[in-house]
Structure 1
Amino acid sequence: MTSLPTRNIGPFTVSAIGLGCMNLSHAYLPRPDAADAERLLRHALDVGVTFFDTAALYGFGANEELLGRTLMDRRDEFTLASKCVLGEIDGKRGLDGSPAAITRVLEDSLRRLKVDYIDLYYLHRLDPKVPIEESVGALVRGIEAGKIGAIGLSEMSAATLRRAHAVHPIAAMQTEYSPWVRNPEIAVLDACAELGTAFVAFSPLGRGLLAGNPNAANLLPGDIRGSMPRFQQPHLEANLQLIAQLKGLADQADCTAAQLCLAWLLAKGDHVVPIPGTTSIAHLDKDLATLSRAWPADLIAAVDDLFSFDAPSGPRYPREAQAQVDTETWAGEPLV
């Protein structure tokens, strides 16, 4: 196992770039077969990734099972994160932030992961029917029972973070953050820095589109991105033109567009930890190579200038998914 630069999430020291595991089992197509997914996970650990992120939602438990059978013989080498609240309800995606549901899903996650302890356990979404204090309280009881190490939130606002933090310190906030989704800069990124909460950036490569992944521009039927307005015409064509300019910046800097996006995120604060997902070992290695070079401030500033808040075309979520997030929106942001 090699070592990478590190950052802190609560009591844990993790590789400065982690691995989002969702697309090995869920949401995006094509998916790798089991052997390839297992090979990628083992390779990530071998090359120094020490932060792996999964959730009960992903594949309705299949992703947790994948990690459980693949990595747990090396359990002491990495920090494990999973999530509850957003998951399978009567065979469909749904929210249940009640303490009883959280307790039940935690037990299911422990079983699927083949562990008795999850380092970082997130509330995947805010359930508007349940006060955040009650949901956090259920996780505090998980800590007291020795089943959880630290508490995280996902896709929530600065105000909700502060309410949750008043109940128990919140180790991490996980939210979509990339050059084309800059909503965390409205309030929650600064709130995290103030409270000592790490900010975990999911989809740091624009769900593959910013990285130039051809699968992201030519989606297969059933790929969840097909429901997202930014991947639909006429928005897609406008966004591809914007991304071509990003590639131009990357070419001038002799790097990949993915590396430039990751460098941009890492420059946003020492408390920011991106978790790109990939099904390709080659892409993973290139992403991690971001950590091995210096990035000039003027190049990072050029990405800022290119991706103003209103530069991308279209909302980031369809109506139903947007209704399940608690994140801040900027004035004039298209939401439907």
Structure 2
Amino acid sequence: MAMEVPKVKLGSQGLEVSKQGLGCMGMSINGYGPQKPEPEMIDLIRKAVESGVTFLDTSDVYGPYTNEILVGKAIKGIRDKVQIATKFAIAFDHENWSSNVTIRGDPAHVRAACEASLKRLEIDCIDLYYQHRVDPKVPIEITVGAMKELVKEGKVKYLGLSEASAADIRRAHSVHPITAVQIEWSLWTRDVEEEIIPTCRELGIGIVSYSPLGRGFFSGKAVVEEIGDDDFRKTVPRFQGENLAHNKILYEKLCKIAAGKKCSPGQLALTWVQHQGDDVVPIPGTTKLQNFEENRASLRVTLSKEDMDEVESVVSVDSVKGERYSDVHITNTWRLTSSLPLSAWKSSV
């Protein structure tokens, strides 16, 4: 009998999604190797949905734009079976998008981005709409106020934030209930456990974990196989030199635990995230059906408290070496970016 994928409530506003989602970003960008054939990716998405993984994650910036179009094609005829999450805020010059990236949370951009995403996805309403990154020039109350209008108009059902600080999450939630916060959370990214996770749980906000496999590291895809020169991970400190050599030792230790549990190291790492609570939904991304099936099968793996402790003793909070982003990317993460105070905005308009 085929394994059923459990459904869980994401946040406290009523959104129900599959316990594991599917990150679609890599299907449309070259960051993890060459771009994949569109028909294959559409087939993969449809097979994921048929197998019970119905929570699909995309963004207008993936491609840019092409990933939403891909997802839109894939869900034709099965819209009622899926939960679509997309994002806005990372804007760019259309002529030279790679070098002129800005973060925009102003109301005009919020509305224009939403309208454009709806058109590309070919849907009437987005299930979960995230602010992809916090705009330091615009108070988050203003941005979420504009998002709230989209909910009133029926264009969006639920609101989310991505890479937001605890303070900004609170400010946003005071304007309109936030259903989910998307963050990088995995065995090798644990700093969110200090403030972000407790804040979300206090407010009844669901947690969506991206890169739950450490950008493929714990599945062995970035350890056993050679990373190509066109792969984004070449720029990530954790995949470089002495850092990588150190981190490989942690991976090898994890492999031994996984063997004892009769699962792959990737499944063990993913199960660790899935065992953090019913309010946590990881969205591992892949472009291969075999990898998808392996990720989905992790839902069968169970870990006792002793198992969790053993895993965390091998890959502890501070055992991984290297930053999770290069300096180029880190400026747009929650640790360094916060929204403009509302008082400052009021005095400037």
Q: Is the 8 Å Cα contact of residues 56 and 87 (structure 1) preserved in structure 2?
A: no
Per the alignment, residue 24 of structure 2 pairs with 21
Q: Where in structure 2 are the equivalents of 1:16-95 lying within 5 Å?
A: 16-26=19-29, 27-90=31-94, 91-92=97-98, 93-95=101-103
Q: Which moved more, 1:145-154 or 1:236-245?
A: 236-245
Structure-2 separation of matches of 1:184 and 1:216: 28
| Most deviating of 24-33 and 191-200 | 24-33
Give the drift of 1:138.
1.2
Shift of 1:308: 1.8
Supply the distance in 2 between the matched residues of 1:283 and 1:37 (Cα, whole angstroms): 13
Q: Is the deviation greater in 177-186 or in 231-240?
A: 231-240
Paired letter, 1:101: H
Q: Is the 8 A contact 2:90 2:133 kept in 1?
A: yes
RMSD: 1.8
Instruction: Give the C-alpha shift of residue 284 in structure 1.
Output: 1.1
Distance 1:88 1:17 in 2: 31
Paired residues for 1:236-255 under 5 Å: 236-255=244-263
One-letter amino acid of the counterpart of residue 105, structure 1: A
Residue 145, structure 1, aligned to residue 153, structure 2:
yes
Which residue of the partner structure matches residue 313 of structure 1?
321
Deviation at 1:217, TM superposition (A): 5.5
CA distance in 2, matches of 1:293, 1:223: 30
Q: Which structure 1 residue ranges, 5 or more long, are not aligned?
A: 330-336
Between the aligned residues of both structures, percent identity stands at 39
Residue pairs, 1:134-173, within 5 angstroms: 134-173=142-181
State the TM-score, normalizing by the size of structure 1. Answer: 0.94
Q: Which residue in the other structure is 1:300 paired with?
A: 308
**TM-score normalised by structure 2 residue count:** 0.90
Structure 2 counterpart of 1:117, one-letter code: C
- Tell me, in whole angstroms, the C-alpha distance in 2 between the residues paired with 1:268 and 1:3: 20
Give, in whole Å, the separation in 1 of the partners of 2:44 and 2:90: 26
Structure 1: which 4+ aligned runs deviate by more than 6 Å? none
Segment of structure 1 superposing worse, 48-57 or 281-290? 281-290
Contact in 1 for aligned 2:271/2:301 (Cα 8 Å): no
Q: CA deviation at 1:135?
A: 1.0
Report the count of equivalent residues: 329
Rg larger in structure: 2
1:263 corresponds to which residue? 271
* Alignment CA distance shift 1:216-1:131 (3 Å): farther
SS at match of 2:208: strand
Give 1:328 shift. Answer: 8.2
Answer whether contact 2:178 2:205 (CA < 8 A) is retained. Answer: yes
Relative to structure 1, the CA distance from residue 99 to residue 136 in structure 2 (aligned partners, 3 Å threshold; closer, same or farther) is: same
- Cα distance in 1 for partners of 2:205, 2:76 equals 27
Q: What is the CA–CA distance in structure 2 between the aligned matches of 1:303 and 1:86, rounded to whole Å?
A: 36
